[in-house]
Amino acid sequence: MIADVLKLFPGITSRDFRILTGIEVGMQDHEWVPFDELVKYTRIDHQNLAYRLGELIEKELVVATTRPYEGYRLYFNGYDALAINALVKRGSISALGDEIGVGKESVVHEGMKEPELPIGDPETVIVKFHREGRTSFRDVKRLRGHLVNKEHFSWIYAARLAAGREYEIMSRLYPDISIPRPIDGNRHAIVMEPAKGELLFKVRLEDPEIFFDMIMEQIKKIYCHNIIHADLSEYNVFVNPEGVQIIDWPQYVTPSHPHAEELLMRDISNIAAHFKKKYNLKRDVDELYAQIVSCTDNIKD
């Protein structure tokens, strides 16, 4: 858990981070990183490296095996520590606070970021830690099309790739699309502005038709940017007095995806079903689909 990492963080030395980084690099090629490989990467002598590894194992940042050889790999806590350290060094976060959301594939914390100039107050930010692959990378690989062509993989690779995809697409869509402003990304973590308002499923709207149209307008604008969200529902749309914001982007696809039509129709249907059930607002999803894809000739790269 992130809370455990934060308790340990002040006691993690630069040498410890070098060891954790060495294991991270080694996990690109090994399920268990051999001790001798770590000696080469860290340039720490055998005795001191063995001692530091023992400390990291005790802190549950690293796990070890002796079969079929002496090897090491990171716990998620160790990977969290690496990402937090990098984000702190870059000034993207200055503090990390309470957990404010958790799902099957991510954990979200509130954080603080110091102003870029030596004036003003710290900025509240959101830090999203991806957790793809923590329980079963095989399931993630089967469900995530962007993983299927990767021959070597680990849970680190799954989480890092998902976070990288999400940060890249958010940077591409912002500010044209109504999403939280992306600030930084490192490994499996993304720093962004907090979404404005409340999640759609939590609120009772006084003008549901207006907000429904706003969401459909965003879906069309997203499509005109050559993107389909591919997992849109009332659980990842925020509403506020000024409009809507859409979150959760790692599974996005483009209109050239073999299941693009099905995924876009599902996004539309999910939102339409929510408004029908909660507000008795009825819309023809086929007509909505036709309106959204009508910008095909104006798709942006």
Residues recognised as catalytic? 231
CA–CA dist 38, 164 (Å, integer): 26
* Contact (Cβ atoms closer than 8 angstroms) between residue 68 and residue 150: no
The end-to-end CA distance of the chain, in Å, is 39
CA–CA dist 240, 217 (Å, integer): 16
Local structure of residue 255 (DSSP, 8 states):
T
Residue with the two structure tokens 């809370």 = 3
Local structure of residue 152 (DSSP, 8 states):
S
Angle at 157 between CA 156 and CA 159, to 5 degrees: 65
CA–CA dist 118, 186 (Å, integer): 24
Residue with the two structure tokens 């910008």 = 295
Per DSSP, helices labelled H in the chain are 2-8, 14-26, 35-42, 46-58, 76-89, 137-143, 155-173, 208-224, 260-279, 285-292
User: Strand, helix or coil at 230?
Assistant: coil
Residues sharing a CB contact under 8 Å with residue 115, sequence separation 6 or more, in sequence order: 121, 122, 123
Radius of gyration of the chain (CA): 22
